[in-house]
C-alpha cells in the first residue's frame, strides 16, 4: 500500500498488517489532492530551514537564505564577518551559535548536524575561530562559548 504524506511516499511492507495504520490517510490521492500539496507554502519553521541549508559535508553557505533564518539582512551578516575567515566557516559558526542560542530546547534534533559542522570547521584550520564566535555572538545577540559549539 502507498500513502502520500505531504511530499513523501510511505510504503508499507508485508509486515504492515502487524502495524497500526492511520485511518485518516487516503489509500490513493487524486491529481487535485497532489496539486493542493504542491501548492502549500514552504516550511517557515526556522530550525527546519536551517537544517535544510546545511551541506552534506557539514557546512553552510553565506547567503540570503541563511541570513533569513538568522533574521538579519545579508549585508549586515557579511559586514560582521572577520576579514580573514572564509565565508563557509563564518556561515557555519553563525549557524552553530544560532542553534545553541535560540534552539537549545530542540538540541536532540540538531545535535548530530552540529557535531558534523564543528568537525568540518576544525578541519578547515581557520585561524580566527575565537574571533568569529565573538563576532557571531555580537551579531546574533547571544553569549555562546566557543567550547559549547564543539570548537
CA–CA separation, 114 and 97 (whole Å): 10
pLDDT at 27: 55
Question: Domain check: are 114 and 79 in the same one?
Answer: yes
Question: Domain check: are 115 and 50 in the same one?
Answer: yes
Question: Domain check: are 33 and 91 in the same one?
Answer: no
- Assessment of whether the complete model's pTM goes beyond 0.75: no
Which phi and psi angles does 135 have, rounded to 5°?
-65, -40
Residue partners of 133: CB distance under 8 A and separation at least 6: 93, 97, 144, 145, 146, 149, 151
Residue span of the structural domain in which 109 resides: 46-149
Question: Domain check: are 12 and 64 in the same one?
Answer: no
3-class state of residue 2 by DSSP = strand
Question: Domain check: are 14 and 83 in the same one?
Answer: no
Question: Domain check: are 137 and 72 in the same one?
Answer: yes
Q: pLDDT tens track of the chain, all 151 residues?
A: 444 444 444 444 443 444 444 444 455 667 776 666 666 655 579 999 999 999 999 999 999 999 999 999 999 999 999 999 999 999 999 999 999 999 999 999 999 999 999 999 999 998 899 999 999 999 999 999 999 999 9
Question: Domain check: are 71 and 32 in the same one?
Answer: no
Query: What total number of domains does the chain contain?
Result: 2
Question: Domain check: are 50 and 30 in the same one?
Answer: no
pLDDT at 23: 42
pLDDT at 38: 63
CA–CA separation, 98 and 148 (whole Å): 12
Q: Which three cell numbers stand for residue 90?
A: 563564518
Question: Domain check: are 52 and 74 in the same one?
Answer: yes
Task: Read off the pLDDT of residues 84-116 as tens digits, 9 standing for 90 and up.
Answer: 999 999 999 999 999 999 999 999 999 999 999
Question: Domain check: are 54 and 21 in the same one?
Answer: no
Amino acid at each position: 500500500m502507498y500513502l502520500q504524506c505531504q511530499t513523501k511516499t510511505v510504503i508499507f511492507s508485508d509486515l504492515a498488517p502487524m502495524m497500526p495504520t492511520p485511518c485518516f490517510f487516503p489509500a490513493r490521492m487524486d491529481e487535485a489532492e497532489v496539486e493542493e500539496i504542491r501548492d502549500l507554502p514552504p516550511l517557515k519553521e526556522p530550525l527546519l530551514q536551517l537544517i535544510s541549508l546545511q551541506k552534506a559535508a557539514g557546512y553552510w553557505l553565506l547567503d540570503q537564505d541563511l541570513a533569513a533564518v538568522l533574521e538579519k539582512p545579508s549585508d549586515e551578516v557579511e559586514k560582521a564577518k572577520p576579514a580573514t575567515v572564509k565565508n563557509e566557516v563564518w556561515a557555519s559558526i553563525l549557524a552553530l551559535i544560532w542553534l545553541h542560542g535560540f534552539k537549545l530546547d530542540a538540541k536532540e534534533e540538531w545535535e548530530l548536524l552540529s557535531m558534523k559542522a564543528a568537525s568540518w570547521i576544525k578541519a578547515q584550520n581557520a585561524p580566527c575561530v575565537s574571533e568569529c564566535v565573538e563576532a557571531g555572538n555580537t551579531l546574533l545577540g547571544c553569549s555562546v562559548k566557543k567550547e559549547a559549539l564543539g570548537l
